[in-house]
Structure 1
Amino acid sequence: MTAKPATTRAQLVWHQFRKHRLAVWGGRILLVLYLMAAFAGFFSPYDPNFYELYPPKGNHPPTRIHFRDPETGRLSRPFVYATVRTIDPVTLQPRYQEDPSQGKFYLRFFVRTPEQPYTVFRLFKADLRLLGVDPPGRIFLMGTDNFGRDLFSRIVYGAQVSLTIGILSAVVSFFLGLLLGGIAGYFSGRPFALSLPPRLWRGLGAFFGPLSLLLWLGAALGVLYLAGTFVRITPVRGLWSYGVDGAILLFGLFGAYAVLRKVFREPIRLDPDDLIMRTVEIIAAVPSLFLLISLRAVFPTNIDPLLTFYLVVGLLGFIGWGGLARVVRGIVLSVREMDYVQAARALGASDGRIIARHVLPATASYVIVSLSLTIPGFILGESGLSFLGLGVTEPYTSWGLLLQAAQQGGFASFTDRPWVLWPGFFIFLSILSWNFLGDGLRDAFDPRRRQ
């Protein structure tokens, strides 16, 4: 009898993942969303910035698709009617009614639109779209915005920004988290010294020795200048308060001199673990949204939209690496004491090789699961920034920017034109799918959860 081949770890993971039905459906939904984002020009009926001045189509409801011929009552090719725009005399909102007198406009698949070309991955030009109708007919699967732009096309193109920022920000965050977390864990307890060589310090002292009197006179003049400026711009105060202010300034100067002398004369020992973890604690002490808004406010709001895209990616990745670095540090602290790591060190392997070949691969399972659970947070962060007007700007679009446009319509966005809230549904759908996928991966990679 031939022995049954052993089941590999990848097969075990895949078999366990398929048992999680919600994770499988989450993966399928994400696959559809990312395919639509990658080929947005093909799936969208129109260019995202296309609109007509006449006849205006602002806040047009979703187009009704007919599958039955009203004259014969039989099933027919899908078609739409043209619409006529009127103004409600009470609410002053636009109203659209079907106009059968203009004829039927049948849906056609794989249509050419040479007047609205697009690029695929910014490499190839094309004008083939999945569906459309003959002009002057128009089809709006999810209605239009206040400018008359097709909302479905803008949602598909907005997925390019929102979904891509989620992945790119996660890549930046995980690069920083793995790198700094690995350094903190592997080099914990191995501090390095910061100091100038004694010979160089003696040379600097010999050079500045004759100039010490001049330096101190300059410092004194600076203190007098500051004191004079302080007296000139402040209200009249007592002599005692001025003496206290001068004493504080002198104390600060002497303190700075003592610190610099300590830095350059005696080595300061820094533990990479303490340095990185204290930085993580500082970042974690500030609420993420507040920190994100503060960092974004440092840069001007009128910079190039493409630069804004990369700026948001960098900011989201910068504030999100701390949690991963903590966990990776803990894993590395335990892995570095393993026998195979000690054997590699005894054979003369360098620290970089040990980290790359033996330590970091031990974190692969956690990284894969954590990545799938971190991406939805970045999608939500980008949507929040764009909703507040600090993220992606026109002519690009994102789901958060579309929600901002819906919010500007006030309560009428809920009562008169609820279709403008579709971007919020896609944000919810993508985040929910990523969470389901992350739960399935966590169960698949955890041996204790396998059935």
Structure 2
Amino acid sequence: MSQEGMEIPLPSPGGDDESGPTPELARAALAQGGTASQWRLVWRRFRRHKVAFVALWVVLAIYLIMAFAEVLAPSTATAQDPDYAYAPPQALHIYHPSEGLGLYVHDFTVTQNPETFANEFEIDTDSYIPVGFFVSGEPYEMWGLFPMDVHLIGPEDPDRPFYLWGADRAGRDSLSRILYGSRVSLSIGLVGVAISLVLGIALGGISGYYGGKPDTLIQRIIEFLMAIPTLPLWLALSAAIPASWGPLARYFAITAILSVIGWTGMARQVRGKFLSLRTEDFITAATLDGCSRPRIIFRHMVPSFSSHVIASLTMAVPGMILAETSLSFLGLGLQAPAVSWGVLLQDAQNIRTIETAPWLLLPGLAIFITVLAMNFVGDGLRDAADPYK
């Protein structure tokens, strides 16, 4: 039967007809679906990815910890007590047989080995150290601006030892140093990816939109950089940093190095998107309407695949964090007194760490959790941004 002779059944006004919903419900559903923005649709698909949704909250919690590291840390990154070098972790208890309900840790009994002259620690179950919340401790400057001395958790007597995750070779609290180190390691990932984003969109956009000689030149540069083995390139660029530079200068230098290496992948992805979009009808319409080339690029083309760019950036942040950690671990990145996860792992290079102080490997656990959570988030965003899923 031809389409002209076909009759399309309409639902009854009362909604009792089984052929479909009422016109009011149909219009409401159409309005709800028709007004949903691209980001709303991406968010709906992302929430259905349970693992990625949980990982997102883990990543947000990690960055929240990074922002308030000074308050959350039981001590500061530089406070040390050589008498408690390599002190083992103290277990946190919530009930004392004689004192009742309350937080406390047991004190140490410290003896010196007559052969190695190293301190040996034993948990003294007869002595306990009361622990409280928002207690006074080592002074610090919140975000480098506000002098404070309040810590979320710590001993009520600041002169008593408190090492929930043990101490390093200088008697510094490992938990506090890991929290402070998160600020450097995670910020390098964000800053490095932001620079890579600018370079990738700018050069990739020029390459994909204009084509011709600019495309050829940019692609040859990308191929040259991608042909160089990553680790030797890192080593060469890091070795070029003068040893006299301070921690802040080395921080920016490492970030620049990672950004120079990391923009090539983003540029190629942007170029591919531009090549596929420049022949679309809405780009042709914008061109005929008299829009300038920068407006076409940044107002019409880039927003159309912005969700894909964000997903790619999320996947790139863990790579930046691992790159900084690798360079610092090898002694070619950040150096003490700077505190990052890679710098902290330098103490885990000798056999004594594995035998007698395994808690110095905890920065590696922090890196593992952070990178794994970010990879899950990036995988979920990539699936949610794919319009064919």
TM over 0.5: yes
1:344-378, CA deviations, whole angstroms, 9 ceiling, x for partnerless residues? 22233222221111222223122011011000000
Are 2:224 and 1:282 aligned? yes
Report percent identity of matched pairs.
Answer: 40
Are 2:351 and 1:417 aligned? no
TM superposition score normalised by structure 1: 0.76
Determine the C-alpha separation between the residues in 2 that align with 1:47 and 1:85: 23
Q: Report what 1:169 is aligned to.
A: 192
Aligned ranges 1:395-434 → 2 under 5 Å:
395-407=337-349, 410-434=350-374
Aligned ranges 1:39-438 → 2 under 5 Å:
39-53=68-82, 56-70=83-97, 72=98, 75-88=100-113, 93-99=118-124, 103-113=127-137, 115-120=138-143, 122-133=144-155, 134-189=157-212, 271-407=213-349, 410-438=350-378
The secondary structure found in structure 2 opposite 1:299 is: coil
Amino acid at match of 2:209: Y
Q: How many residues align?
A: 359
Judged with a 3 Å threshold, the aligned counterparts in structure 2 of structure 1 residues 13 and 349 are, in CA distance, closer, same or farther, namely closer
Q: Which moved more, 1:351-360 or 1:7-16?
A: 7-16
Deviation at 1:127, TM superposition (A): 2.2
Amino acid at match of 2:239: A
The secondary structure found in structure 1 opposite 2:84 is: coil
TM superposition score normalised by structure 2: 0.88
CA contact (8 A) 2:136 2:151 kept: yes
Determine the C-alpha separation between the residues in 1 that align with 2:51 and 2:116: 44
Q: Report what 1:252 is aligned to.
A: none
Which structure is higher in RCO with an 8 Å CA cutoff and minimum separation 6? 1
Determine the C-alpha separation between the residues in 2 that align with 1:288 and 1:361: 31
Determine the C-alpha separation between the residues in 2 that align with 1:92 and 1:23: 50
Deviation at 1:84, TM superposition (A): 2.4
Gaps of 5+ in 1: 190-270
Deviation at 1:448, TM superposition (A): 2.6
Deviation at 1:160, TM superposition (A): 0.2
CA contact (8 A) 1:308 1:392 kept: yes
Amino acid at match of 1:27: L
Q: Report what 1:200 is aligned to.
A: none
The secondary structure found in structure 2 opposite 1:117 is: strand
Deviation at 1:287, TM superposition (A): 1.1
CA contact (8 A) 1:81 1:137 kept: no
Q: Which moved more, 1:373-382 or 1:87-96?
A: 87-96
Judged with a 3 Å threshold, the aligned counterparts in structure 2 of structure 1 residues 369 and 96 are, in CA distance, closer, same or farther, namely same
Determine the C-alpha separation between the residues in 1 that align with 2:243 and 2:53: 41
The secondary structure found in structure 2 opposite 1:116 is: strand
Q: Report what 2:18 is aligned to.
A: none
Q: Report what 2:62 is aligned to.
A: 33
CA contact (8 A) 2:325 2:342 kept: yes
Amino acid at match of 2:351: F
CA contact (8 A) 2:348 2:354 kept: no
Determine the C-alpha separation between the residues in 2 that align with 1:80 and 1:185: 62
CA contact (8 A) 2:191 2:255 kept: yes
CA contact (8 A) 1:301 1:390 kept: no
Deviation at 1:93, TM superposition (A): 4.4
Q: Which moved more, 1:292-301 or 1:380-389?
A: 292-301
The secondary structure found in structure 2 opposite 1:321 is: helix
Amino acid at match of 1:435: N
Deviation at 1:177, TM superposition (A): 0.5
1:148-206, CA deviations, whole angstroms, 9 ceiling, x for partnerless residues? 000000000000000110111000111100100000011103xxxxxxxxxxxxxxxxx
Determine the C-alpha separation between the residues in 2 that align with 1:90 and 1:25: 51
